[in-house]
Amino acid sequence: MGEKRTIKSINPATGELLNEVEAMSKKDIRSTVSAAQEASQSWGALPVKTRCDYIKRVGEILSIDAGEIAETIHLEVGKPVTEALICEISLITDFLYYLSVKAPGILADRRVPIHLAGVMKEAKMVYQPLGVVTIISPWNFPFFLSMGNIIYPLLAGDTVLYKPSSQTTLTGKKIEQLFKKADLPEGVFNLIICPGSLAGQELVKPPVKHVVFTGSTEAGREVALRAAEHFIPVDLELGGKDAALVFDDVDIDFAASGIVYGAMLNCGQICASIERCYVQENIFDEFVDKVVNKVKALKVGTAENRKNYDIGPLVSEEQLQIVKEQVDDAIAQGAKALAGGKQIDGPGYFFQPTVLVDVKQDMRIMQDETFGPVLPIMAFHDEEEAIKLANDSRYGLTASVWTNDKRRYEEVARRLEAGGISQFDHMFTGSFIELPWQGVKESGMGYTHTLEGLRKFTFGKPLLADRQPYLGKLTRPYWYPYSSILAKSVHTGSDFLASLTKTKTRLCK
Ligand code: NAD
């Protein structure tokens, strides 16, 4: 008999139990997967426009339920309600609307001009639904990172198995309600509540046709290995250790505000938080002073201050310990905390917003993902050194370059090893649906977002037909039997093509 397991989520601001649900058993999951596979037949057969109407309806319901969902995220993750509304809900409202307007065009059959034999043949691409797609999400943006991935396969005609983080099952339930209220047919959207390891075993194998995993590099590696066993394509959005480079031509106060925001947003618990700040040496002291003052002015949302605050708690005791260990390790090796540096006493998992200087590139705080409200700052001499320091990481999610000089911005940005670069804002590429969200090195594989990204959740099949029906009856000269005349004419034909290529190359120069 399978043992019953429960999944608990804890309010990180108080340490109290928030929600306890029974985890799905292997048997429950398997029957949900079968239902999803069955539902994919009729969902995939609907016109794209009809699926878009469903998703638009989800958007309308979201605008009514926004406050309630933001409150749930606030309770489960600890972030301010305003932040949940800005960074999670408003972005998804835009994604839902924009993608459902664009999807019919992107998923429509597409003519492909073929230059060889184009007189005889005409080609087109048709985009057919895959079937069942798995989406596995983390807790730090439980709504944005889930919905932003779920709507792609749904629009493309696939059914979805959605596994939220165990910390955010209430937000997962809210997402399920959105689809229920929009009357999506049974089996199209499927919430799976279970431990991560079971999701790995049951949701990363046939009949699943594509997996989108967002989470830690360690779990991502396991998912990728399982997916490889079954040749299932997988997109991995993983951890980060983002660098921000601040040059001496900036408005120092402006840059300090932006860097503090990029480091402290969501209590620093973002894959693309600024976790390393490199500042040109001649503005270092002034910049650090400004940053320290701004960080000290941040309001932390402890038990006495749960309504009007900037920074919430860390998500768990475990995460609090990681942050403490990394900060203590840096200080033991000579780093100085000019702001914060310690856990905040009282209930919940709070850590003081922290600024560290005198850090060294080989410290854990500069190499390992911290996922906390900690900003280590180091000086650099020139562009070359700044790029070298930024690229000295096993991660490569995003980076930002703070300079007024557009030429310098472009030159540095092109040389940074990261999935996306912004000027005067950090991690901003993730807010625009047209841009790919992706990491290099241990930050990920594949990409999410973009309009063309919809096609990834289909099978793009080329259909090649004869232009004129009567050509179909003509025997092809390249069919059997082979002859010396055929060999000669192929030779002549190749020479002719080569000469055309040369002429075209010359003309194109
Ligand atoms: P996590 O890897 O512990 O969990 C992420 C999800 O994967 C959860 O739903 C979890 O239950 C599930 N999971 C865990 N082990 C699994 C396995 N073996 N097989 C299948 N699923 C498994 O990560 P987390 O603590 O929820 O989130 C924090 C991490 O996620 C950080 O490293 C952060 O950088 C990363 N992250 C990356 C991005 C990005 O876009 N690159 C975005 C957000 C978070």
Q: What is the pLDDT of residues 157-199, one digit of tens each?
A: 999 999 999 999 999 999 999 999 999 999 999 999 999 999 9
Residue with CA at minimum distance from ligand 1 atom 14: 196
pLDDT at 472: 66
* Closest among 57, 157, 185, 74 to 454, alpha carbons compared: 157
Model confidence at 23, pLDDT cuts 50, 70, 90, reads very high
| Alpha carbon distance 9, 18 (integer Å) | 6
Is there a contact between 40 and 132 (Cβ–Cβ < 8 Å)?
A: yes
Average pLDDT value for residue range 383-389: 98
Instruction: Tell me the CA–centroid distance for residue 78 and ligand 1, in Å.
Output: 18
Mutation pick for ligand 1 pocket among 242, 271, 443 (CB with most ligand atoms within 8 Å): 271
**Residue 267 predicted with pLDDT over 80:** yes
**How are beta strands 132-136 and 208-214 bridged, if at all?**
parallel
pLDDT at 505: 65
Q: What CATH number is given for 242-436 in this structure?
A: 3.40.309.10
For the chain, domain boundaries: 18-238+449-459, 242-436
* pLDDT more than 90, % of the chain: 88
Say if domain 18-238+449-459 classifies as CATH 3.40.640.10.
Answer: no
| Alpha carbon distance 67, 379 (integer Å) | 43
| Alpha carbon distance 408, 392 (integer Å) | 20
pLDDT at 478: 86
| Alpha carbon distance 17, 10 (integer Å) | 5
pLDDT at 504: 67
pLDDT at 1: 45
**Residue 425 predicted with pLDDT over 60:** yes
- From the list 76, 83, 237, 369, the catalytic residue is 237
Q: Which atom of ligand 1 is nearest to the CA of 443?
A: 41
**Residue 332 predicted with pLDDT over 50:** yes
Ligand 1 binding site (Cβ under 6 Å of any ligand atom) = 136-140, 145, 163, 165-166, 196-197, 199-200, 214-216, 219, 222-223, 237-240, 271, 369, 371, 397, 439, 444
Average pLDDT value for residue range 394-411: 98
Q: Dump pLDDT digits (tens) for 212-262.
A: 999 999 999 999 999 999 999 999 999 999 999 999 999 999 999 999 999
Half-sphere exposure (CA, 13 Å, Cβ side) for 109? Answer: 9
Question: DSSP states of 360-406 as a string?
Answer: -TTSHHHHS---SSEEEEEEESSHHHHHHHHH-SSEESEEEEE-S-H
Q: Dump pLDDT digits (tens) for 273-325.
A: 999 999 999 999 999 999 999 999 999 998 788 788 999 999 999 999 999 99
**Residue 474 predicted with pLDDT over 80:** no
Mean pLDDT for all residues in the chain: 95
Q: Dump pLDDT digits (tens) for 490-501.
A: 888 888 888 877
**Residue 96 predicted with pLDDT over 90:** yes
**Residue 503 predicted with pLDDT over 90:** no
Place of tokens 């905040």: 344
* Closest among 205, 222, 216, 198 to 22, alpha carbons compared: 198
| Alpha carbon distance 161, 188 (integer Å) | 8
| Alpha carbon distance 499, 509 (integer Å) | 16
Instruction: Tell me the CA–centroid distance for residue 275 and ligand 1, in Å.
Output: 18
| Alpha carbon distance 230, 168 (integer Å) | 29
Model confidence at 119, pLDDT cuts 50, 70, 90, reads confident
**How many CB atoms neighbour CB 406 within 10 A?**
9
pLDDT at 491: 87
pLDDT at 477: 83
Is there a contact between 235 and 134 (Cβ–Cβ < 8 Å)?
A: no
Mutation pick for ligand 1 pocket among 216, 223, 398, 437 (CB with most ligand atoms within 8 Å): 216
Q: Give the CA distances from residue 386 to residues 170, 245, 389, in Å, rounded to whole numbers and listed in that order.
A: 43, 7, 5
Average pLDDT value for residue range 107-111: 97
271 is catalytic: yes
- From the list 87, 194, 267, 271, the catalytic residue is 271
| Alpha carbon distance 132, 112 (integer Å) | 28
Mutation pick for ligand 1 pocket among 139, 165, 275 (CB with most ligand atoms within 8 Å): 165
Instruction: Tell me the CA–centroid distance for residue 17 and ligand 1, in Å.
Output: 22
286 is catalytic: no
Question: DSSP states of 180-213 as a string?
Answer: HHTTPPTTSEEE----HHHHHHHHSSTTEEEEEE
Instruction: Tell me the CA–centroid distance for residue 388 and ligand 1, in Å.
Output: 29
Residues 6+ apart with CB under 8 A from 153: 130, 133, 135, 159, 160, 210, 457
Q: Output 2 or 122, whichever has higher pLDDT.
A: 122
Is there a contact between 354 and 324 (Cβ–Cβ < 8 Å)?
A: no
Residue with CA at minimum distance from ligand 1 atom 35: 215
pLDDT at 378: 98
First to last CA, the chain: 73
Q: 2-16, 62-76, 198-212, 336-350: lowest mean pLDDT where?
A: 2-16
Sheet holding 336-339: strands in order across? Answer: 336-339, 354-357, 374-380, 274-280, 242-246, 398-402, 420-423
Residue with CA at minimum distance from ligand 1 atom 10: 196
Instruction: Tell me the CA–centroid distance for residue 492 and ligand 1, in Å.
Output: 59
| Alpha carbon distance 447, 397 (integer Å) | 11
| Alpha carbon distance 504, 228 (integer Å) | 42
Instruction: Tell me the CA–centroid distance for residue 339 and ligand 1, in Å.
Output: 30
